[in-house]
Structure 1
């Protein structure tokens, strides 16, 4: 069995979670992008039937679990990210190099991925999160 339709719905779910608040147009109806995967699922149910819709539900569940386990649980729940991208894939796509973009209003920097031996922040400890950021300066004042 090929899960192409489930993959497409999973990608749509991930896109909708990353772009909350934006508008999407599905055929002639405009709505919040948050509802896009559900509109696609409803359209599949109407056009192709319940078996095809259940096939797409597997993609929706897989995308939700991936989003929860890699982003929500480590960030807000204080848990560990058990699903990590292999280092060879990071090197293939340049995730191990810092990204510098010159923009019209300044320069944007994305830090390189941490070395394999270094850990990431865990939990809600502000000292580990903000401790390396420096003193800080107030903007727009004297």
Structure 2
């Protein structure tokens, strides 16, 4: 476990997200929310509005930070747990996400739809609850016939996102409820374009995983394996590493002149 932890924190941020998408998202959600609610960070730096893309430089990073803030108080723990739990289910057991790049593309697509729909219709500026409902909806689609626990109540697994949506309505009001609905819409749209239409409409996957994500994972330092992802050394030359080019080192031992 210590080796995994050391590897996680020693990996550059972009590669860390590629290698450990679930752990990275959950960690970012927890620490960003704790920072905001302890007033160490200003919440103004996290929300998103389309006008921020029209400034120079455009605040593109807010398309990510707007998904990092949970509900206050116990919501920090519960929302972080739900994010980690359902993303783990998608990564480990959902057949649509057999590769890490598929899960990363799913988060990018669903997140983009949530932002777009809310900017057009609801005016919401923070989107974690929409994403949480979306990943719950996707994770439970393959669990029909199974049971799940919603706090102290046992329900059919496929009803979990609807129960979470109802809880948002009761505890956070209509704004949070509408945000959750956009999450269900985004998750269902992804399911329709990648599974329902190809299977039942005899078509093709309309939003395949972009090649650049697969290219990132295909680099020598990031290797997909059957039991996980390996982190390869930066050089395969082993003890032959050094400042000299390979062509110089391959010419045999040196000779002293004079």
After superposition, the CA RMSD in angstroms is: 1.9
Higher relative contact order (CA 8 A, sep 6+): 1
State the shift of 1:98 in Å.
Answer: 7.9
Q: Secondary structure at the match of 2:182?
A: helix
1:36 matched to which residue of 2? Answer: 160
Q: Gaps (5+ residues) in structure 2?
A: 1-124, 228-258
Aligned CA distance change for structure 1 residues 93 and 29 (closer, same or farther; 3 Å): farther
- Superimposed CA distance per residue, residues 28-85 of structure 1 (whole angstroms, 9 cap, x where no aligned partner): 0011110000000000011111111001100110100110111111012112221111
| TM-score relative to the length of structure 1 | 0.63
Q: Which has the larger radius of gyration?
A: 2
State the shift of 1:86 in Å.
Answer: 0.7
- Superimposed CA distance per residue, residues 65-124 of structure 1 (whole angstroms, 9 cap, x where no aligned partner): 110111111012112221111112124456xx88546xxxxxxxxxxxxxxxxxxxxxxx
**Residues 43-122 of structure 1: matches in 2 within 5 Å?**
43-93=167-217, 100=226
How many residue pairs are counted as aligned between the two chains? 99
Q: Secondary structure at the match of 1:30?
A: strand
Aligned CA distance change for structure 1 residues 93 and 57 (closer, same or farther; 3 Å): farther
Q: Gaps (5+ residues) in structure 1?
A: 102-142
CA distance in 2, matches of 1:54, 1:18: 25
| TM-score relative to the length of structure 2 | 0.36
Greater per-residue strand proportion:
1
State the shift of 1:18 in Å.
Answer: 2.3
CA distance in 2, matches of 1:93, 1:18: 26
Structure 1 counterpart of 2:139, from 5, 9, 15? 15
